[in-house]
Amino acid sequence: MQVSRRMFMGRLLGTASAAGVAVAALGESGRAGAARRTAGVSQEAESAAVGGEQAAAERRPLRIGASTYSFWHFSRERVEVASCIDKAAEMGFDGVEILHRQMSSESNAYVQSLKHRAFVNGLDLMGFSIHQGFVSPKPDVRQKNIDHTLHCIELAYKMGIPTMRLNTGRWGTTRSFDKLMENKGLEPPLPGHTEDEAFKWVIESIEKCLPRAEECGVCMGLENHWGLGRTAAGVLRIHDAIDSPWLKITLDTGNFRENMYEQFEMMAPHTVLVQAKTYFGGGVWYEEDIDYDRVAGILRDADFRGYISLEFEGKEDAETGVPKSLALLRKAFG
């Protein structure tokens, strides 16, 4: 290709500009190093500090996905998952978390169509959120939920999704979910039973799911989602008892009704997916004032590098509330 004089000069000036930036950067590094040596910092410590600064500067922003739940709150006609994938791409998300109950089919043709739709839209299918529970004194009820969990692990595998949200389940002594929310997720145990029994049921049930999770390469993420998982201590009691790379934590920013930041700090080192709640237009059930800059700092300190999945739970229309939420999360985690 013939290079014109204008192209040649442009390249030359670009090279000179880049060299100038590099020299300036070296100058700054040198001045910082001189300051450290003046302060009596060793060469080894100086190298470690410079390496830390470079690593912080080079670290990529966290990726932001959208849960399909953000477009549908169980309160009106179901919004098709494929439509949510298209909307997430148009709005500028990096990935999509699929809510199992929102799927219109479980056929192989359907799940492969979702995987293909995400791919052509340039999105990751990065999370799968299911509903199940192991808090029951009845072995047949627990087994039914184990079977459902195993089935969903296989669905996640077919869609190439690497992590799946689990619940502990709850006692069910508070029939109305609205009432449960009024009580901040608290409910009494079934008569004649204790929480220690319930923790045993949950731990044993999840352990039966581990071989399938490992076989399929789907990491289960236990969420702080009412029941025994209402607190970080409850989630960690189960996580630590099982002690497997195939059971980690899905951290939901909106499900701690007190001392949220202290509880985030407890769970962050074991977290593989963060579900980030926003409430534009006011909360559907309640509203938390979440400082996402502070949350980002907690996750950064824990070296979290996974996905942030938006769960928009506001009354504002999703067409405007979801993009506002994405801007909020980009600002905090970018």
Q: How confident is the model at residue 47 (pLDDT cuts 50, 70, 90)?
A: low
Q: What is the 3-state secondary structure (H, E, C) of the chain?
A: CCCCHHHHHHHHHHHHHHHHHHHHHHHHHHHHHHHHHHCCCCHHHHHHHHHHHHHHHHCCCCCEEEEHHHHCCCCCCCCCHHHHHHHHHHHCCCEEEEEHHHCCCCCHHHHHHHHHHHHHCCCEEEEEECCCCCCCCCHHHHHHHHHHHHHHHHHHHHHCCCEEEECCCCCCCCCCHHHHHHCCCCCCCCCCCCHHHHHHHHHHHHHHHHHHHHHHCCEEEEECCCHHHHCHHHHHHHHHHHCCCCEEEEEECCCCCCCHHHHHHHHHHHEEEEEEEECCCCECCCCCCCCHHHHHHHHHHCCCCCEEEEEECECCCHHHHHHHHHHHHHHHHC
Q: What is the pLDDT of residues 258-291, one digit of tens each?
A: 999 999 999 999 999 999 999 999 998 888 899 9
Q: What is the pLDDT of residue 44?
A: 60
Q: What is the pLDDT of residue 235?
A: 98
Which of the two residues, 54 and 66, has the higher pLDDT score? 66
**Of the CATH numbers 3.30.1330.60, 3.40.50.20, 3.20.20.150, 3.30.70.2860, which one belongs to the domain with range 64-333?**
3.20.20.150
Q: What is the pLDDT of residue 57?
A: 47
Q: What is the pLDDT of residues 168-213, one digit of tens each?
A: 999 989 888 888 888 888 899 999 999 999 999 999 999 999 999 9
List the domain boundaries for the chain: 5-58, 64-333
